[in-house]
Amino acid sequence: MQIIRTEVTQASAPTGQPILRVIFCGEGGDCVTVDMARVEGGNDEAAIDRAKAILVQTATFDVAANDYDARSNGNFDEVAVTAANDENGGVYIFEYRDGEAGHQVPPSRMPSLEAAREEAVRCAIDLLVDLQPGTDDLSGWLVRVRDENGEVLCAIDVREAQAARQTRQ
């Protein structure tokens, strides 16, 4: 979905609790809404960044595996890191190129580094859509995967993303 408009508004949850709502509107009338209980920083830019992070995390979560998960309160704001890798996989931090800078999203648990790398490739392919030849730098990294200590584990560059996109078509 190509985003053409983003709105940040105050709203109320069904419980009456005040929430912050970010609406991403795309071409053709498609919209994605993210409701948040609170946002650090308190401004629209911080709210949009938090909403983007929630969307990325949501895309990597599986549906509820059992009734207990289905009844959970869905509070994924707290991230506890006890080890970089264990029997449940590892904790990875994704960093996305944004012009000349990078933007990290909150840590995600993935089953393996290979799964994290595959997610990075998928995201890099999505980022290619927004790059404009002649305007944007078409060299260098698009997505990097870091461990919990910030060490770069892998980086997907423009060339690799283009090759992966051609392979998948």
Higher pLDDT, 134 or 75: 134
* Residue whose structure tokens are 């650090």: 40
pLDDT > 90? residue 70 = no
For the chain, give every domain's residue range. Answer: 1-69, 79-169
Share of the chain above pLDDT 90, in %: 17
Mean pLDDT of 58-75: 53
Where does the chain show beta strands of DSSP type E?
3-12, 18-26, 31-36, 85-86, 89-98, 101-104, 108-110, 141-146, 152-157
DSSP label at residue 99: T
pLDDT > 90? residue 117 = yes
Q: For residue range 30-47, what is the model confidence (pLDDT) as tens digits?
A: 888 888 877 666 688 888
Provide φ and ψ at 4, rounded to 5°. -115, -15
**Measuring CA to CA, which residue among 166, 135, 134, 141 is closest to residue 155?**
141
The model's confidence at residue 81, banded by pLDDT at 50, 70 and 90, is very low
pLDDT > 50? residue 53 = yes
What is residue 140's predicted lDDT score, i.e. its pLDDT?
A: 80
- Please answer whether residues 161 and 125 qualify as being in contact, where contact means their C-beta atoms are separated by less than 8 angstroms: yes
